[in-house]
Every structure is written in C-alpha cells, then in structure tokens.
Structure 1
C-alpha cells in the first residue's frame, strides 16, 4: 500500500516538474518551442489582405459597417453604438406624446419597447427592425419592415403582434391609422403592390382566415418616398366583433414571393379618421378659384371668400336653418373631414330650412363661373316617400328680406344612397325669379345658399356634404 502511495506522489510531482520545465522553456524563448503563427482569415488578427479583422479582402466575409442594417462588429444596436458608429438613439418622443392619450394600445416603432399593450413575438414571417433613421431625413427614428423574398408563409408573410389575453374590444376604437414610407426603389409589379392591410384575427382558430377582418388602403405612387398616413375603418361590423385577439400588419400584398422594404411608424387605434386641419382646402388654395368651401371646419379656413353665415346685416347673431357639424368623420370611412347637416323638424324657417354662407361684400360675378358642384352623402333608411325628398338645391340671391322674389334656384336629385355623389348645378340657362335674368348676366346676388331635403315641410332628414366648388 505504501509503495502505491509513493508511486502516485512521484507521478504527481513528475507532471508538475514537466509543466515547470515547459513553462520555463517558453519564457526563455527556447527555439525548440518557438512556433511561428501562420496568418489566416480566422486568426482574430487583421492581416493578409483583410480590410478588417478577419473580414474583407479575400476572406469572403463582409466587414461590418454602420449602414448594413445588421447589429454586428461591436455595435450595441443596429448600425449604432460601439467604437465606430454613432450612439444608439434612446429618445422616443412620439411614444412619450402618445402615452397620455389613453389609447388602449399602440406602437410608435421608435424602439422595440415603444408600445403600450402590443407585445412583439419571438419570430415572424417579416423582419421588423427598430431605431432606424427616418428615410425622409428627419431626426426621428422609425421601424423598417422587411418583406422576405421567397416562399415564406406561402407568400402571405405579415407581421403579427402577440395575441391578447382576451378578445379585443372594438366597440369604440374600430378604426386605425399607420404612417408608411414606401420607397420607389421597390420592384412593384402585379404581385408586389403598394397595399397596406390591417388584419384582425382569432389566433385560436387554425383556419383564422375564414373569420378574419381585413382592412386595407392603397398608397398612390405619387406618395412614394414620403410619409403617408393610411386610415382604415372597421366601423360597426368590427365594433360588434368579439372573437379577435390578434392584430397583424401586411404590406405589399399577398400570395407572392417578392421581397421589399418599407418603413413604418405610429400604429394607432382611433375613434375617428378625420385628419387634422383642412387638407382639402389647403390643396385648393393654389387652384385660382374665386371661391370654394370644403366644410372641413366651420370658419373661413375651409375656403376662399366663403364662410358660414354667423351675423345679420346689422351685426346681430344669425342662426342657421339647419343643425350643422363641421369636420366630422366621413360616413364612407375615409379620413376626410366633412359636415353633417341635420334638417330639423322644428320649423324654425317655416319649412324652408337651409344653410347660408355669409353674404359677399360685393355682388357676385357669374360671367365666368356660373357652374357649381358639391359632394353629398345621403344615408339610406330615411323615408323619402312623403315631404322629405333626396334633393339638394343651390340658391343664389341677394340679402334682401324679399330675396325669394328674385332668387335663382337650381335643384338636383340624389338617386344613390350610402355613397358620395357629386352634384353639378349649371346656371347657364337658370333664370332669376321675376326678372327672368339668366344667372351669367345677373349683377345683384351676394349670397350662396344650400337647401337639403326639399322645402315647404318640417320633416327631419340627415345629409353629409363636402367641397362646394365653382367650375367653368
């Protein structure tokens, strides 16, 4: 037994001695143990023809850059941080601003965590990168939505948020907006289309597509290479839905294998799709028209040389014959602001209830612009079998108590309900009451008036109106 113990001790100390000798030999640069290191593309050293450490040159490996869309090198984020790239963004001003709005959920796409009640899944059939520089050049950071090339998800690739724990309540927030930037460099064709789809689905159902709701909007090529806000309206049908627990975003169409890159920001649920301001009036500002009114707001900001009448000739307040609300949601579901006109049943104008614009300061010149058009939406379900009629009248007159003795009235009838129709009023052959003077030659009128639903009755009716515009 003693011999065995001694043998183990000898082995132990022998190994120690060998290690000591080798270590000492290396320290002394003994030529017998001094091996040269051969350069290679995997040695952790920038050598050979490499342009970086083990990358570039003949290595076949691309060196990391601060613009390759990949977190590599010593970057701490995608194309940011580390020793070579700029610092990664941390500010999320859009998220910070949205937090106080009381929205049930949203995502600003500034960073992965810039969301409320929207959770990112572990994997998806599209790639979504966050903290990406705004392609339009602002200081904001956004999300980059990369649609893969090839047969991914059978050509139906999309970005799904994690399912909610319970069905989503769409009773109030059943409309959505999303800011999208579509580069013109994408190879758009019959398959890859500038389409944005918001998909509401039940992920507990393997055949979820049989019950889903798909809301979509198309971006006009004229809006490529700039930010565009799409608005989609689920309306009453979505409000009644009680099975959906998942929200998905698909960009570029479906059932194809084309790759593409898009940018996104600010996915928001909303109760109204009305865009702020008066965008239609702004667009008409350079039209050269002598007057117009879009009904986006209840003041002069909706038009040129036209605004709703609010005062009488003596400066006292004027009350309209109809109840009108400006800048309300488009009943057809667009994000345009329109006006709702409710013809009351109180007989406040003796059955001749109408809407008047403020009188012009000078008589109106009809010699060039004596044709007019206005867009009208009349909801179905109203009883037009009696006194109430689906008509709109354009009335031109002066601001005299007896104006109806010399006015010009042009009437149009709407035959399509639940859709916008453009009514045209041609005054070329329209004569003034009493004198018989044709509108183009009239030199006494100062007031434009619109009447909805006919006259001589007190039956209530509902109408929507936008964009009263003269044309040649």
Structure 2
C-alpha cells in the first residue's frame, strides 16, 4: 500500500517537472518550430528575381499580363477588363454567333470573342502588324481591323495575316465560300510592286513547306472601289491544291486559313482595313438587284431586305436597330442556297418588349393612301429548327398603324398568316381590302390615319426565341 502511494507521488512529480519545462521553453521562445524558410519559385512569395509571385525572372513561369491571350488576373475578357484596358464589345460577332457559319472573325477584338473557331496568331508570329477595334475609316460607328504590311517585312515579301491552326483538318465539303469586307485607302502607293489584292490561302500546318500544297484564291480590287467598304467573295468551288489539283470541297488535309494583303515577293508597305471574314455556304449577289428591278414598277413603296437602308426600298426604310424588338441582319445569304440577299430576323428570348417583339419600318411623313394598294406580299423562310412546341408560332402578322402615341395598338389594323411549309420560301399574301381598324371598324382602303408598317414574326405575348428569313415586302393591286 505504501509503495503504491509513493508511486503516485512520483508520477505527479514527473508530470509537474515536464509541465514546468514546457512552460519555460514557451517563455524563452515564442515559436519552438521557428526555422528559416529558403526562398523558392513555389513559396507563394515574390522573392529572388521574380517579377511577380512565383513567376518571371529565372522562375521559368510567365507572369499573367494583359497580352498573354489568357483570361486571368481578374480580367473581364481575354486580356481586357479588370487591370487591363476596357473590353471592346463585339456586336457583329454576337449577331453572327446566332447563325450557322462554322468559322468567322469580325476583327472587333484580338481574341476569340470576335470569332467562331477562328483566332489570330500572336503578333510575334505574324508577318503584318495589325490593330483590332480601330475606328471605321469610312466614319461608321463600328470598330474594325487595321492591317499594316511593313516595309521590308520579316518574311522577305511574303507577309500575311495568320489565324491559329485548327486541331483537325477543316471540312470544306459544304462551306467552301468566304466573304470579307475590305477598305483600301487610295493613299497606298500602287505605282510600284504593292498590289490592291487580297488572297485567301487554305493550307496545312505539317511543316514549313505548306506552300507546296496550299490552295490560293486571289481577289483584285478595282481602283474605283478604293476609300469605301466593299465585300469580296472568295469562291473555293473550283479552287484546287497546288500539288495534287484536288478541289477545295474535297480537301481533307487543310487545317488553317491565312489572308495576304498587297501581293507577295516585294518589300513595299501598305495599309488595309478589314471586317467580318465569314465562311458561307452560298454567296449574296452584289448590290440590290431586286430593288433595282422594282424601282421602275411605279409601286408607291416596297422593301427587299437586301440592305438595311433606303437602297433596298421605295419610301420604306427600317427603323433603327436600337428600337427594334427583333434583331435584323440584312443582306445575308439565302438559306435556300440562291444568291439572293435576304434578311435574317431573330426574335430573342425574353425580348425587350415583353413578348411583343416585331420589325418596324420608319413612319411615313403623312398618312398612307391605301385606296389603291391595300394588298401586300412578303416572302418568308422559316427553319424547321425552330421549336414550335411551346408558345412560338409559325405566323407572320402585317400591322398597319399610326404613330400618334404609344397606344397605337388600340387603333391598328393587323392581318395574320400562318406558314405550314418549313425550310423553303413561301409567299404570303395579306389582303387588306376587308381588314378593319380594331377600334372603329373602318376598312383599310378607307383609312386616313395610318402612317406605318410593322411585321411581327412568331406570334405575340410570349418570350420564346425564333429565327425567320424574309425578303421582298411588296404591295399589289
């Protein structure tokens, strides 16, 4: 018993001593594990010769920057926003993104935001100097790209603008036609070796001898087209590979696209402006051939949708895009494959007018005389890809109304047509001879107040999205 009591006192004494030693050590040194950390390139501290935290200097890791082609360091887009310059909006790319083209680039920015499946190579790998998002030389509100071909450039006269290679060969079987908007200043000196040409080069990325195998499509711009925007068309239908003669639609090796400005094998400098390089399945005929044909018809008004201005119509001009409920794109390729320039009308999901999205023409200066022309035709193409299982309907409405106040809908006359054939052009006829005003019941031919036309696609009172194509709104007797 006595030994047991003694053992308990011994154990208590040991614990007391150990505790005193730990307290003593803690008092003498605040951190018993304090030891020196050797600087490294992975310690989360900017030290050594680093120019950032664990990057730069001899670390072998590039520090994030506003030119690294990566969205990082709090940027709102790739190399823009946050600590970098403000991001540039890409309205043309936003519209093209709604379409079917597998490849496009608008030159609004220097990154993927301006394109689909196309992005420029970095500046160090280019033969030309380029600036994106520059002011339109024609004075428009849109931003474009400036291509500067340097004097005595780095590639001995073979300077060009390169897109990044694709990860696999491009399928050109359907999309082998290309459009590009070009503005060539007359201030360029074309008296020597510099040429007013633009070449589209389709090639592979296997080795440095790609030029032995490429397909080249050159376009020469007439001097009468200098100092203005023109759309050039590269037709690859019959363009062949340099070595095998295989036509582009049958090509199975090309994985890259390049643009060359001003010719090759010379050292002369040149300046070019570009916008909207688009791969298409069909071309649009230049100008406004259908409007030109209608111009001598004696009609009081019409609109062909070949362009977005008065050149497409007689006494009809679309309202400003900012006040449209839909998003129109004019002069697009015919979805049926012809060379007709038509308009794509995109009805956005949850649009700005709470389900009453429409396409508006500008009001007339005076009320319209419907006594003679009170019947109307319009050609419509409705893709079957639209989802009509919900609220969206395959309908088109013609609305005749005044512009007195915001309550025009209390007084309008509207005529609705339903489309039953998809993926083909359908001519709709709106007969206004017996159509009446919603408030007074006055028939359209006797109307003396209406001064405006509006077209509505896809029904009303719902937020569903839809895509429609339209051409040639024409009155008839």
Give the TM-score normalised by the residue count of structure 1.
0.45
Give the TM-score normalised by the residue count of structure 2.
0.45
**Structure number, greater radius of gyration:** 1
